[in-house]
């Protein structure tokens, strides 16, 4: 059986495999792609350049508007560190700069506005692109309650007042009394920190004659401290004596520590009698008293001058 010869296909009939065709992009298309890819970076760079170079306000506002449309606008404000300063007052100062554009925010001016708030000691502000501000507040710390002219005010260690509608929340703080006692707050607070045994039993520290302190104790006694730096040593020695042989709550009225190396003690008429607290001055007297805090948390002290 004979085989049929294979049919030969002419070479001209063989079609070559198709080659990929490169379709050129139109210049307009390339331009649009570039703009779309680098729009955010371009806006940020242009805005920074505008601020540094101080270009005219109209140009700057145009760049800020473009940045806002690109999403660079304040949408989130995160606040940390606040305890007594209302957050609403912080939001108000942050948004009072005239623009919510992330590029146009004047952070130093914003910091100065926030430092003017009564409880704010310091503040730091950070941009978090594209739309977030992070604000960290360091608050002033209440250190004492100041009694003056029938009023009670919360103050920090420098004697500056701090607003509060709930003084009973700070009833554990020392009470200082006197027209200018707030100016000397740092001095007496340091003495009390060094002698916690005395501080925890003190009712009030009374600023006498704008030169020295009397400490009125909860058990009724008065410690008369000397002027100036001698007060620290006198109080230290009294605290050491009281630890060795308890002196407070034993029926004494006054411990006068103003004479160096001596202590003058005033006793009650009846030996062993319990000391009564100093009476409150009546209305019309030169000394001032104030109503007690809510729930009896703070008894007013008598202002005494000797």
Q: What is the mean pLDDT of the chain?
A: 79
On the 0-12 / 13-18 / 19+ scale of CB atoms within 10 A, 180 is exposed
CATH topology identical between 76-139 and 142-296:
no
95 — pLDDT class (breaks 50, 70, 90): confident
Helix, strand or coil, per DSSP, at residue 43: helix
pLDDT at site 96: 87
pLDDT confidence bin for 71, thresholds 50/70/90: low
- Distance, CA of 176 to CA of 215 (rounded, Å): 9
Is the omega angle on the peptide bond into residue 130 within 30 degrees of 0, that is, cis?
yes
| pLDDT tens per residue across span 213-237 | 999 999 999 999 999 999 999 999 9
All structural domains of the chain with their residue ranges: 27-69, 76-139, 142-296
CA 46-51-54 angle, 5° bins = 110
Task: Return the pLDDT at 168.
Answer: 93
Sign for the pseudo-dihedral over CA of 227, 229, 231, 234: negative
pLDDT > 50? residue 288: no
| 3-state SS, residue 145 | strand
Of the candidates 119, 171, 116, 113, the one whose C-alpha atom is nearest the C-alpha of residue 141 is: 119
Helix or strand (DSSP H, E) at 243: helix 230-244
Using an 8 Å Cβ cutoff, are 155 and 184 in contact?
no
Calculate the CA 303 to chain-centre distance: 32
Lowest mean pLDDT among 26-30, 129-133, 172-176, 230-234: 26-30
CB atoms within 10 A of CB 66: 17
pLDDT at 3 over 90: no
Euclidean distance between CA atoms 92 and 123, whole angstroms? 15
| CB 74, CB 105: distance < 8 Å | yes
What is the pLDDT confidence band of residue 2, given thresholds at 50, 70 and 90?
low
- Tokens 């730096």, residue? 229
Considering the four listed CATH numbers 3.40.50.300, 3.40.50.11690, 2.60.120.890, 3.40.1360.10, the one that applies to the domain covering 142-296 is 3.40.50.11690
Distance from the first to the final alpha carbon of the chain: 148
pLDDT value at 153 more than 90? yes
Contact present, 113 and 78 (Cβ < 8 Å): no
Q: Does domain 76-139 correspond to CATH entry 3.10.20.310?
A: yes
- Neighbouring CB atoms inside 10 A of 142's CB total 18
Say if residues 144 and 175 touch (Cβ distance below 8 Å).
Answer: yes
The alpha carbon of 39 is separated from its chain's Cα centroid by a whole number of angstroms, namely 40
3-state secondary structure 184-197: HHHHHHHHHHHCHH
């Amino acid at each position: 059986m004979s085989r049929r010869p294979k049919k030969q296909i002419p070479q001209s009939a063989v079609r070559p495999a198709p080659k990929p065709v490169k379709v050129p992009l139109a210049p307009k298309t390339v331009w649009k792609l570039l703009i779309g890819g680098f729009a955010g970076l371009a806006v940020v760079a242009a805005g920074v350049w505008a601020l540094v170079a101080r270009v005219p306000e109209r140009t700057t506002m145009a760049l800020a508007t473009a940045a806002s449309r690109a999403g660079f606008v304040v949408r989130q404000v995160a606040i940390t560190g606040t305890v007594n300063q209302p957050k609403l007052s912080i939001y108000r100062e942050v948004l009072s700069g005239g623009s919510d554009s992330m590029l146009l925010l004047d952070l130093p001016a914003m910091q100065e506005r926030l430092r003017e708030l009564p409880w704010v000691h310091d503040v730091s502000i950070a941009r978090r692109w594209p739309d977030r501000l992070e604000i960290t507040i360091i608050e002033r710390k209440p250190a004492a309650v100041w009694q003056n002219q029938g009023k009670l005010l919360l103050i920090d260690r420098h004697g500056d007042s701090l607003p509060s509608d709930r003084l009973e929340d700070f009833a554990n703080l020392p009470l200082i009394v006197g027209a200018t006692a707030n100016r000397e707050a740092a001095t007496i607070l340091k003495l009390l920190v060094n002698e916690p045994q005395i501080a925890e039993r003190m009712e009030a520290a009374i600023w006498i004659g704008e030169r020295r302190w009397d400490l009125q104790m909860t058990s009724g006694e008065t410690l008369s401290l000397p002027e100036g730096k001698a007060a620290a040593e006198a109080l230290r020695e009294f605290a050491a004596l009281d630890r060795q042989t308890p002196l407070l709550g034993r029926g004494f009225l006054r411990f006068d520590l103003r004479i160096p190396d001596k202590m003058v003690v005033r006793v009650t008429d009846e030996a062993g009698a319990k000391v009564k607290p100093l009476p409150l001055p009546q209305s019309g007297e030169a000394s001032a008293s104030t109503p007690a805090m809510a729930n009896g948390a703070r008894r007013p002290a008598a202002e005494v001058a000797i």
